[in-house]
């Protein structure tokens, strides 16, 4: 801890046991990843209580643990529910989250922390110290491949 807040460490020791993170932030080079346990279920926002909790961080005595993000991520649709029917003219809200299915962790933020990036606004170049969110681009298509909509899906 530093001034009442957690400070970055390359490693730490925890008591042996199985854990799931409430919220964890990691940095790897210029990439900053924030994750938490996944509190959604397929088709049910905040519906994690309907499925078994995954304690994917397994700490064993005298054995190092490496947080492995090499699993292929999944997109989980917290809404709409799979059986939801929408009538012509009704609105449909889609809520999707990026998850590591093995660790059952939800990616909350993915930032590029490259210092002194140059951005151009109105023809003027300026330096920016703030991280840039790497929000995924989402394309919604019909079964025949026709594009219906596209846009940025923010994390969170």
Stretch 1-12: mean pLDDT? 80
For residues 100-120, one letter each, b for 16 or more C-beta atoms within 10 angstroms of the residue's C-beta and e for the rest, the string is: beebbbbbbbbbeeeeeeeee
Residues 6+ apart with CB under 8 A from 12: none
Predicted model pTM: 0.70
Stretch 71-95: mean pLDDT? 85
On the question of pLDDT at 96 being above 70, the answer is yes
On the question of pLDDT at 136 being above 70, the answer is yes
- Are 115 and 48 in contact, with CB atoms under 8 Å apart? no
On the question of pLDDT at 121 being above 70, the answer is no
Q: What percent of the chain has pLDDT over 90?
A: 15
Each domain of the chain, given as residue ranges in start order, spans 17-116
């Amino acid at each position: 801890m530093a001034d009442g807040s957690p400070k970055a460490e390359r490693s730490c020791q925890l008591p042996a046991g199985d854990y799931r993170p409430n919220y964890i932030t990691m940095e790897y080079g210029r990439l900053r990843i924030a994750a938490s346990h996944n509190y959604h279920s397929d088709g049910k926002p905040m519906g994690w209580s309907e499925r078994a909790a995954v304690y994917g961080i397994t700490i064993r005595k005298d054995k190092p643990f490496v947080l492995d993000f090499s699993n292929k991520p999944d997109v989980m649709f917290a809404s709409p529910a799979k059986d939801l029917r929408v009538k012509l003219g009704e609105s449909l809200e889609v809520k999707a989250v990026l998850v590591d299915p093995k660790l059952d962790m939800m990616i909350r933020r993915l930032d590029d922390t490259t210092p002194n990036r140059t951005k151009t606004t109105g023809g003027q170049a300026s330096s920016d110290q703030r991280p840039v969110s790497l929000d995924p681009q989402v394309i919604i298509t019909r079964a025949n491949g026709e594009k219906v909509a596209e846009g940025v899906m923010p994390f969170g």
